[in-house]
Each structure stands twice: as C-alpha cells, then as structure tokens.
Chain A
Amino acid sequence: MENRRSTAREFVHGLTALILALFLLGVSSSLGVMKSIVDIWGALLFIPEYPAVVMREMFLGWRSWSRDKDILSAEVTRLKSENATLRLELARVAGERAYSDDMKPDAKTARVTLRAPMSWWSEIRIDRGRNDKITQGLPVFSNGYLVGRVSSVSMMSSWAELITSSSFMIPAVIEETRELGVVAGDGNGSVLLRYIPAGRGVRSGMKVSTAMIGEQLPPGLPIGQIAGEFSPGTDGYATYRIEPGADLSRFYTVSY
C-alpha cells in the first residue's frame, strides 16, 4: 500500500515536470521576456565561467602562436634557400666577370719553369723577374683564380708561393655572407678557410676571394669556392675546405 502511494507520488511529480517542460517548450519561444532571462543568466554565470574563458583564450592564443610559428619557420626556411640560391647565382656572375677580367688583353703571362717535387704544393718558379716589373707579393693567377703570390724576385725569374703552401696565409672573405677568415694551405694540396664563426650559414659552393684587409693583395681576387666543412672546431670557429678555382695540378702558365 505504501509502495503504491510512493509510486503514485513519483508519477504525479514526474508528469507535472514533463507537462511543465512541454509547456515551456511550447510557449517560451513566443515570450518576449525569454531573451532578458537568457541575458541575466548569462551575466550571472560570467563570474564562475571567467576562468574557463581565460583558459580558452590562452589555449587559442597558444595554438595560434604555434601555428604562426610553424608558418613563419617554413617561410624563413624557404627564404633562406632562395637567398642562398640567389647568392650562388650572384657569385657565379661575379666569378665569370673575374674570369673575363683575367683574360683582358693587358694581362701578362709567365711560364712555370720549375715545380720541384719536394715542394710541389709550396712554390713554383716563373720565367719573369725584376726586368718584367715583377715585385714581391704580386698575386699570380691561373684560369682567373689566385694560385699564389710572388715570394722572391730575381733578375730573370721569380718564385711564387702557392696557396697550398703551409706557410701561405691571407685574409679572405666569403662573398655571399661577408664572413672574414684566413685562407691557408696545408702543404699537402688542400686549401683551408679558417676562423669562420660556426653556424653562420656557410654552404658549399659559396665564393671565396681575398679580403680588403690584406696588406699586400688587393681585395676581390677570386680564390675558389667552399667545398665543405673541414672541422666544426671546438672554440666556436669552423674550418672549411676550399676548392681552388685554378687547377693546381695542371697549370703551366700563370698570369699576373
């Protein structure tokens, strides 16, 4: 008996709630006051909802920042690649110009008369001397690229120290990045560019020429191009291998 009464009470309350909900559903859309109630309830909930709003804005801001960062990073990578390509193209044009300058009519040539096996990568003798206005420190070229400089002059001949000599050290610049370093030979046929700060975006193919801070050599004389990183260095400076523009194994004459 008690249980039945209890069920009846639940039924009455449930039915009342259902009818009320249906009534509200039916008439509330036509009640003008509903908009005000919605606004008031929204305003009341503003305070408890505020942390969620702040967190949502933070999350959206972080997501937007992350997305923008990815876009910018991709753009920077693209621009770097484009920049490197343009610099290489510029260097190629500059190299061609240097080559043509070397081929100009007033360039004088000298024949290599001695290249001793014991000092194969260190020095050569040419058949021009003081009588031909050769002076100490004068740069000599092959194929438009620096191969060395005159180290001693006599009346009829001169000795030129090659860029592969271990005692050959001249200031040089990477044309694309304007990074300054020192070009030095290792005495075994390799030419290195030393003291370039690590992580400066130096890439293979970039042109290397003499720097204007040299005491004897004029700036802008083409030497060759970066062939790759030789050693990253432990002191923050990297060393790069240089591929000389001149073929140091096959040159019989030099220009000056």
Chain B
Amino acid sequence: MLIILWLIQDLLTVFTGGGMQIPGLFMLGIVFKLLFNDGSDDGSIWAIWAAFSGGILWDIRWIGIPGFFSLGYVVVVLIVIQVWGLIPPQGRESGTGLIVFLLLEASQLIPPAIPVLVLGGSTGWNYFLMQQVYSLPAILLTMYIYVQKLKSINL
C-alpha cells in the first residue's frame, strides 16, 4: 500500500511537472498505519525504515541529494511514535481528533521544510506554503478515513 502511495505521489508530481506541490501521500500512509499500531515495536521499527527508504528514493528522484526527505520522514515517524505512545491505547479512540490532525499535519510540514531551510530562497518558501494549502484536503480525507476505520473496528 505504501509503495502505491509513493508511486501515486510520484506520478502526480510528474503530471504537474513541478508546477504544483503534491501532498505527501506516502507519509500520510505511514502516519495512518502508525495510528493503528497495536503498540508492538516491530510496527514502529518497520515504519522508521519504510520512511527512511521512501525518503531516500524521493530524494534521489526529485532532489538529487539523498538525506533531505529521508531525514524529515524519520523525524516525523519518531514524533508520531513518541506523541502517540504518550496516549494510553484505551484513550486513543475518543477526544484525540486534534492530536491526530496535528500528527498528520506534521507529516506534511516537516519533510518539505528541511530542504527549504537548508537551501533557502523565496521560491522555495512559496512552494512550501503552496504545498501546505494543497495538503489540507488530503489531511482531512485521511482523518475521515481514520474515523471511519475507528467506527468499523468498534462495531
């Protein structure tokens, strides 16, 4: 599933030709999986290295310098593991909407911010801000799917 999301993200970037910043579907998928992790460290470790690999491939494809997105992706995964780990599994199903939203938002905010911070330039910031706008519908859609899945589990 993550491979498909990575490819969709890549195909959409090819289709727009860089004229429009595509939401980080791959990272939304990883965060989504982590939100339903049963607490086993295998799932978390798998997510760390999946994010690292996906980031490396993204860097090689679109940045040319490996490290930018892989670093950002790993940071996001560690943040999600730590924050989500602070909430007891029994309390994750209600009243955590804002936290879920912030975690999903972090997955869209941190990775593209690193190359902009390192490389700089007003154009980079413009693209970064545009991506945040375009990411919002994807985040809301992911939240909707998250809620639907929670409902189906509780039925």
Binding site for B on A (CB under 8 A): 6-7, 9-10, 13-14, 17-18, 20-26, 28-29, 34, 37-38, 41-42, 45, 48-49, 51-53, 55-56, 59
Task: List, in ascending order, chain A residues with CB within 8 A of B7's CB.
Answer: 48
B10 touches A34 (CB 8 A): no
A51 to B40, CA, bound (A): 39
The contact of A41 among B12, B57, B71, B74, by CB within 8 Å, is: B57
Chain A minimum-CB-distance residue to B12: A52
Q: Do B65 and A17 touch across chains, with their CB atoms under 8 A apart?
A: no
Contacts of B44 in A (CB 8 A): 6, 10, 13
Per-residue 0/1 for B10-40: is the Cβ within 8 Å of any A Cβ (1 yes, 0 no)?
A: 1110111100000000000000000000011
Instruction: Determine whether B48 belongs to the interface, using a CB cutoff of 8 Å to chain A.
Output: yes
Which residues of chain B have a CB within 8 Å of any CB of chain A? 7, 10-12, 14-17, 39-41, 44-45, 48-49, 51-52, 55-57, 60-61, 64-68, 70-71, 74-75, 77-78, 81, 85
Which chain A residue shows the least CB distance to B56? A24
- Report the bound CA distance from A63 to B64 in whole Å: 30
Would you list 24 pairs from A and B whose C-beta atoms are within 8 A, ordered by A residue?
A6-B39, A6-B41, A10-B48, A10-B81, A14-B77, A17-B49, A17-B52, A17-B70, A17-B74, A18-B74, A18-B75, A21-B66, A21-B70, A25-B71, A28-B67, A34-B64, A34-B66, A41-B60, A48-B11, A49-B10, A49-B14, A53-B14, A55-B15, A56-B15
Please name all residues of chain B whose beta carbon is closer than 8 Å to the beta carbon of A10 when the two chains form the complex.
Answer: 41, 44-45, 48, 78, 81
Q: How far apart sit A52 and B12, CA to CA, in the bound complex (Å)? A: 7
A52 in contact with B14 (CB, 8 Å): yes
Pairwise interchain contact A14-B65, C-beta atoms closer than 8 A: no
Q: Is the CB of A13 within 8 A of B70?
A: no
Could you tell me if B48 and A14 are in contact, using CB atoms closer than 8 angstroms?
Answer: yes
Residues of A within 8 A of B14 (CB): 49, 52-53, 56
Cα(A181)–Cα(B61), bound, Å: 70
Q: How far does the Cβ of A244 sit from chain B's closest Cβ, in whole Å?
A: 62
Residues of B contacting A9 with CB < 8 Å? 41, 45
Contact indicator A7/B11 (Cβ below 8 Å): no
- With a cutoff of 8 Å between Cβ atoms, the chain A residues found around residue B39 in the complex are 6
**In the docked arrangement, what's the CA distance between A55 and B7, Å?**
15
| Chain B residues near A53 (CB-CB < 8 A) | 14
Instruction: Indicate which residue in B11, B60, B67 contacts A25 across the interface (CB closer than 8 Å).
Output: B67
A21 touches B67 (CB 8 A): yes
Determine whether the beta carbon of B60 is less than 8 Å from that of A38: yes
Minimum-distance CB pairs A-B, first 10: A25-B67, A6-B41, A21-B71, A52-B14, A52-B11, A24-B67, A21-B70, A17-B74, A52-B15, A17-B52
Whole-angstrom CA separation of A46 from B41 in the bound complex: 36
A41, B49: Cβ atoms under 8 Å?
no
Known: A9-B45, A51-B11. A29 touches B57 (CB 8 A): no
Q: Which A residues are CB-close (under 8 A) to B51?
A: 17
Contact B61 A45 (CB under 8 A): yes
